[in-house]
Structure 1
């Protein structure tokens, strides 16, 4: 038995040493002192309790109450007015006139503030006009000085600025007067066309003389010719404007196509076939736009031809003249719609 106990003690001794080593190698535990925080909270609670007790012990001051308004201020004002009146009675005539003007000025100020007054708008407008006039005079003087300075320079040292000599100034005055000339021509035309009489009271010869219709021509036929001539001129002017618009749009398209073709050569790694495909793609846009514009014009021509063919059957028309005029008017309006469609279609090509 003693031998077994000695063996067990020897076996337990290395285990105890091993446990001691593990405890030493383990991390130490963190200990938090909660009493310190509890003491702080207790101090705060005691201070709050003492503050409440002090507030209860403070004696409340009674409200002073509302006093009725005194008349001392009004009496002081009246006394000051009376003293001023006594002082004015002892003043000279010049001083009295000065005070009268001052009273009138303050009275006008009070009346102006009480009633709506828009005179300041006139003042602002006058100031704006004067400022504009001064600005125009300044820039005019500045341009004249610069033109004189440039005119005195040698030709090789002059800037690309137009020198304002006397001939140029006369041209400018003529250009400014064109509106007045147009206005006078319009007034003269209105005066010539003004009918200050009832056409029913005039004879055919008098009406012919007024409208300047030759006696050798039929009046109705002559008026129809004038109407169609006027419509033809309108149509011709509208066609000129349309083709100018079309020329401008295709110039823009050519520029876009050239810019697109330029980007085809950005990279030197592209092969010849890739560059050709890129150039072909850039040219397809402008060719498609040409086809689109041609189809629009062809459709407009077909519509006009249809309208003219309908006029051949006179029996179905109530008024052939009105029908022909409508054909012209439809074509003139068709140019507007074609311009809008071309603008929207061409804008898709980047």
Structure 2
């Protein structure tokens, strides 16, 4: 049976509601079977902003259950009210209220996915400062990835350590998976251990392989310039990265490296590898984002359900103007459908 896809509202003070409205306005076939997990008043405000920009009426219809989204007509936004109704928050401002709404929408969708009520969740951007301002339980989560990991672990009755997850950023030209995610750089370097790298390679092999329907060719970036140059510029490659690659290969994983991080992404983009494992957040995300955030998709690997999101933030500076583009959100929806298959 087909299952609907939930699109979470994102921070209601950001561009999330507007890009959702634009996706339903401009790409009705792409969003067929999707619904918004959010707030009616906020989406109706966004729909009015989008109508002003494009001149197309976009009704927001409240539904009582996710399955009703499967029968929604084109250019109508089905929305499930998953937070207490309230007046929309002002656009472009960090607030605890907005952070709480965003967090509640994500938590609801994660639980619905874990119950098997939806086939995937696509998350509009949230604002990390607003999420922290919301207080418990959201203040302890740097972003979507950690919140979703905690929800899944609690549902499965597992400690977090037994449900490792990783972030993958992908577009049509490049995929990259990160060993560590939202950490200060000094702490991220401490996460470059053989165990963490091996776990990342296992998750990458399993998840990317499922999407490709074949074992992926994985390149592993070094941490240091020139991948350490045989120990001249650092020993992490010799003591952690290379041993992890060797062990992964012993498990049948098609992993290679470590390679100089200033060239490995070009090699992958040229087709030599299917995915690059990067050692820390910016090392892996800058190359993908440089190719264009319009088609970039964030995928959380290792969860027991499909989660994707656009490759951009809340853009408070243009929230409420109707200028935000829905390309990355639509790419995230398309990616979610492929991963559901």
TM-score bucket of the superposed structures, by smaller chain: under 0.3
Which is bigger in relative contact order (C-alpha 8 A, separation at least 6)?
2
Larger Rg: 1
Task: Give the TM-score of the pair, scaled to structure 2.
Answer: 0.20
